Structure formats: structure tokens, C-alpha cells
Amino acid sequence: MMRFLTSMMAIALLIACGGDDDGPPPIPGEAILVFPEQNSECTTGIDVTSTSSQVIFEWQPAQNADSYTITAINLFTNVPQTTTTTGTTAALTIEKGAPFSWSVSTSNTESNETTVSDSWLFYNAGSQTSYPPFPAQIIVPKSGATVQKNADNEVILQWQGADVEEDIATFEVYFSDQNPPETLLITTGSETSEASATVVSGIYYWKVITVDSVGNRSDSGVFDFRVF
């Protein structure tokens, strides 16, 4: 009987100790972006210099988040700017007349996890009255990825285009086993954001040139992938 009582007391003690376990730390939720709006021209910046302005970025509060890190990337130079805040707005001084992508990552002091929001595109207003398209965003294959060709010895290339004035005319897709790729694979209309490329094993390079209705052009930059 004594052994039974001792066992029961040990089990009760374990249960009691386990009652203080609050479970894993909460993972911060995703911030919902508000401003600058997706695929827009931002005209509210405050002049800092002749070539730069201060833009106020805004997002909705995220669940379980106690800090936010905003990242804005100049798509002409691929140079990022970041700042961290506990609020839901932040100011960054950025170049005028340039396209940017921006996103917000959330974190809290109880978790090692971070959550990244969607990425939005905008042009910071400059002196120009017409803007080139945003550089195409590559979807697949991701740069540096290793992929497998299909039964037809092809790889599918996918991208996404956007333009403030919504007047994209064509996409020119360049594809080669040489860097930079100078061979035109295909020219598609504005409604087509996919192409197939014949491949063998090796490394390939590709890029997308977006052209609007008045001839403005933007370059996605070169991306590479390996076929095994």
C-alpha cells in the first residue's frame, strides 16, 4: 500500500509541476500592409533633397508582435534600407523616381520566430510624368535553385509583371547557358507570364524585360538555376 501511495503522490507531483507549462511561445502574426499601396505611385513624400524624399510606411498591427522591421529595396540598385519600430508606421528617406519593394517582418521577445508580410511594389514620385514598368518579379525557378526537367526536356519559367499605369505591352524573355543571357527565348503579350525552355543538365541564366505601351523598358536582372 505504501508503494502505491508513493507512486500516486509522484504522479500527482508531476501533474502539478506540468500545470505551469504555458506551451510554446507565441509566433508573431503577419503584418497587413497599408501604405504605400501595391503597384502605386507614392506622391506624399516630404522633400529631403533634390533626389530623395521621406516616405511614411504604414501597416496594420499583427497578433503577438511587439516589434516590426520594415525593409524597402530600391529595385534599380537592389540596395535595401531597414528600420525597426514598436509602432505601425515608420519613416524612410528614399530615392525619388525609383521603384521599390517593401515588406514588414514581425517578432516578439518570447519567440525566435519571425513572420514576413507580403511584398508590395511602388514608385516613389519624382519629376517624371511617365514611369517604366516595375522590374518583373521572378516566381520559378528561384535564383540558385536546382530543378528537374519534365518529360519533354523542358523547364517552366514563371514571372509576374506590374506597372503603375497598367500599360504593359510585352515581356521579352532571355535565356541561355551563358551569363548574361542574350538569346531571346520568346516575346509574350501582357497576359502571359510563363514560358517553357528546352534544357539539358547544367546551369542556365534568364531574365525578363518588361516593355510598356510607350516603349519604356525595365530589366528583372539575371537569375540562374541548375538542371540535374
Q: Please give the Cα distance from 157 to 140 (Å, whole number).
A: 6
Read off φ and ψ for residue 18, nearest 5 degrees.
-70, -20
| % of the chain surpassing 70 pLDDT | 90
Most confident of 16-30, 35-49, 120-134: 35-49
* Residue (of 80, 83, 92, 94) closest to 49 by Cα position: 94
Question: Looking at residue 23, what is its pLDDT?
Answer: 74
Q: Using the predicted structure, report yes or no on whether residue 19 has a pLDDT greater than 50.
A: no
Domain 32-124 has CATH 1.10.3720.10: no
Q: Do 29 and 55 contact (CB within 8 A), yes or no?
A: no
Question: Looking at residue 24, what is its pLDDT?
Answer: 84
One fold for 32-124 and 137-227? yes
Calculate mean pLDDT across residues 107-118.
94
Residues 70-73: contacts with CB within 8 Å, 24+ apart?
Answer: 70/102, 70/103, 70/104, 71/102, 71/103, 71/104, 71/105, 72/100, 72/101, 72/102, 73/100, 73/101, 73/102
Domain 137-227 has CATH 3.20.20.220: no
Q: What is the pLDDT of residues 176-205, one digit of tens each?
A: 999 999 999 999 999 999 999 999 999 999
Antiparallel, parallel or unpaired: β 79-85 and 67-74: antiparallel
Domain coordinates in residue numbering, the chain:
32-124, 137-227
Q: Using the predicted structure, report yes or no on whether residue 1 has a pLDDT greater than 80.
A: no
Q: Please give the Cα distance from 51 to 142 (Å, whole number).
A: 33
Q: Please give the Cα distance from 115 to 111 (Å, whole number).
A: 11
Read off the C-alpha cell for 202. 547544367
Question: Looking at residue 194, what is its pLDDT?
Answer: 97
Q: Using the predicted structure, report yes or no on whether residue 14 has a pLDDT greater than 80.
A: no
Q: What is the pLDDT of residues 141-168, one digit of tens each?
A: 999 999 999 999 999 999 999 999 999 9
Q: What is the pLDDT of residues 79-108, one digit of tens each?
A: 999 999 999 999 999 999 999 999 999 999
Q: Using the predicted structure, report yes or no on whether residue 32 has a pLDDT greater than 90.
A: yes
pTM of the model: 0.81
If residue 26 lies in a helix (H) or strand (E), which one and from where to where? Answer: none
**Cell 501595391 identifies what position?**
38
pLDDT-derived band at 2 (thresholds 50, 70, 90) equals very low
Q: What is the mean pLDDT of the chain?
A: 91
Question: Looking at residue 129, what is its pLDDT?
Answer: 75
